[in-house]
Amino acid sequence: KERNPNQPEFVQAVREVAEDVEALIAENPEYHHQQILRRMSEPDRVISFRICWENDDGDICVQRGYRVQNNNAIGPYKGGLRFHPSVTESVLKFLAFEQTFKNSLTGLPMGGGKGGADFNPKGRSEREIMRFCQSFMTELYRHVGADIDVPAGDIGVGSREIGFMFGQYKRITNRFTGVLTGKGLEYGGSLIRPEATGYGAVYFLRSMLDTQGRDLDGLDVVISGSGNVATHAAEKATDLGARVVAMSDSKGFIHDPDGVDAEKIGWIKEHKGRRGGEIADYADEFSGARFHKGKKPWGVKCDIAMPCATQNELSGDDARTLLDNGCIAVAEGANMPTERDGVKAFKEARILYAPGKAANAGGVAVSGLEMSQNSERRSWDKDQVQGLLVDIMRDIHQRCRDDGTDGKGDYCDYVRGANVAGFRKVADAMLAYGVV
């Protein structure tokens, strides 16, 4: 905390991992002697830069951009770019730190990084967004590369923004390389990448339920958010027989007792995505649904909760409400959406609880597959990528169980499992390199 004043999100993320890997470090004196955790929680570098761009009125706007390169012990830095007014160094350091463990869990050779800017894309014209993305890449290009650091999308950065940034990278460097993932299919993107995080979270959930001999059929699910991760989680959950009864955005949530079916999910994607609309309009579009302004969806009775919007969006009180309402499983699509108090409540209740670094790893896993396709200069078909995603999520689930089951009964602490398994691989690579 003293080393990182005013960085509460980063301190929160490091503390959670430190608690879980304490025992592993005690068993392996070399980890302690070589200060592995301390080295992992000091980013290799934090790059901060100015971004100037001109809005449609001709005004010059100044934003702050970052790239946090946390750790490249097991592969090039890899992690998304976030464009949102809430972006700070603390938020990106926490995300880059978490990403290191997540990427390790996938079994693919990727280190951890994250970046972004305090730019608010909401209400901006397409031309303004293009100018901002070009200006952002004009600085970022010197720090990234297919073997160095490969950014992707995150909040506020989808395929359109990736296209603008890739175009600018290509223009500046005169190189066509896999420097970004989440690209369009026409220029090196991978099938299933947009769906991968949400689908992967549901596959992880399915594996957890399977350990108790259950499946998703007939279960009620509440999902926060209505962006990329949330809509694809809703799509896959519905596909597997569940009923999604609530979804949200930053303005409030909708409760639809009839279920947000495939057609309604299509409407949300179109309305929130391309039209830049609000989830509130859902209640006008579909009878039987109600909008609850300024509220979070965790009070809606459900069997499964999937926080898929942003960090610290589910408090201890929200967790207790979910538990009182009979929630049996939580799978996080977002990064660190549950506050510490909430995590404690889920663990004490011994329900199935999957942290984001395990449950939402499907997105970066398919990004890793996109990197492989770019290196091969080939595109794999949908079934191949989909099949690999299913396998990778099943393997991540197993790694979490191997390190998260304490031998007393059949309860699995997936948080500890993810932290320990993710840590061990990176730590062993760092030991191999000596003190660097």
Q: Which residues are catalytic?
A: 114
Closer residue to ligand NDP, CB minimum distance, 281 or 395:
281
Task: Output helix, strand, coil percentages for the chain, rounded to the nearest 5.
Answer: 50, 20, 35
Phi, psi of 360 (to 5 degrees): -100, 20
Using CB under 6 A as the criterion, what x/- string covers residues 354-393 for binding ligand NDP?
------x--x------------------------------
Q: Which is nearer to ligand NDP, 278 or 341 (CB)?
A: 278
Angle between helices 89-105 and 362-376 (to 10 degrees): 70
Contact status: 112 vs ligand NDP (CB under 6 A): no
Nearer to ligand NDP, 251 or 350 (CB): 251
Q: Reduce the DSSP state of residue 331 to 3 states and report it.
A: strand
Q: Does 190 bind ligand NDP (CB under 6 A)?
A: no
Candidates 149-157, 257-265, 287-295, 401-409; binding stretch for ligand NDP (CB under 6 A): 149-157
Binding to ligand NDP by CB under 6 A, coded x per residue (else -) over 271-300, reads -x----------------------------
How far is 343 from 413, CA to CA, in rounded Å? 11
Q: 248 — phi, psi (to 5°)?
A: -150, 175
Please, which residue, 106 or 138, has the CB nearer to ligand NDP?
106
Work out how close the CB of 251 gets to ligand NDP at its nearest, in angstroms, rounded to a whole number: 6
342 contact partners, CB below 8 Å, separation of at least 6? 314, 315, 316, 318, 319
SS in 3 state form for 41-73?
A: CCCCEEEEEEEEEECCCCCEEEEEEEEEEEECC
* Closest to 84 measured CA to CA, from 22, 158, 149, 32: 158
CA distance 403 to 406: 8
Confirm or reject binding of residue 422 to ligand NDP (CB under 6 A): no
> Does position 151 bind ligand NDP by CB under 6 A?
no
Q: Please enumerate, as own/partner, the contacts of 182-185 that have beta carbons within 8 Å and a separation of 24 or more.
A: 182/152, 182/153, 182/157, 182/158, 182/367, 182/370, 183/159, 183/370, 184/159, 185/379
Q: Which is nearer to ligand NDP, 24 or 155 (CB)?
A: 155
Pick between residue 197 and residue 419 the one whose CB is nearest to ligand NDP: 197
> Taking CB under 6 A as the rule, which mask of x and - marks residues 297-336 in contact with ligand NDP?
-----------xxx--x-------------------xxx-
The footprint of ligand NDP on residues 204-233 (CB under 6 A) is 225-230
153 binds ligand NDP (CB under 6 A): yes
Binding footprint of ligand NDP on the chain (CB under 6 A): 153-156, 197, 225-230, 249-251, 272, 308-310, 313, 333-335, 360, 363
